[in-house]
Amino acid sequence: MALTRGRLANVTQVSAGSTSAIITVADNKKVYVKSIVIHDAALAGVACTAHVYVVPNGGSVGDATRMFNVALTAKETVLIEPAYPIVLQDTGDTLQVGAEIGSINVLVNGDKEV
């Protein structure tokens, strides 16, 4: 099994009140999420909350798929490093991130099968 290591997606901006799929599994190629960097990018210096969801194919964001709920102060950056990688393995599985009040920037690092 060959893996590519590093950034899993470009920096993604998530607007206030929305949720974006940051990583989506294609062709049953496993994705191993090792770290998630979240930055409060609100221009007005507003504190916000970020939600990280691990959503199986056909599922939706909600309490049952929320893994992290992070409160950020104005312009704060948070690093989430699970003790063991989050594994997305089936086609259509996603890692999604939502923002409340202010916008956030998200960067996800890890490995994926090639």
Lowest mean pLDDT among 1-5, 50-54, 61-65, 82-86: 1-5
User: 3-113 domain in CATH 3.20.20.100?
Assistant: no
| Residue 22 CB coordination number (10 Å) | 22
What is the Cα–Cα distance from 25 to 88, expressed in whole angstroms?
A: 7
**94, β-bridge pairs:** 24, 55
CA 110 – CA 33 distance, rounded (Å): 5
Q: What local confidence, expressed as pLDDT, does residue 46 receive?
A: 81
Q: Does residue 1 register a pLDDT over 90?
A: no
User: What pLDDT is recorded for position 86?
Assistant: 97
Q: Which sequence spans correspond to the domains of the chain? A: 3-113
Is residue 43's pLDDT more than 80? Answer: no
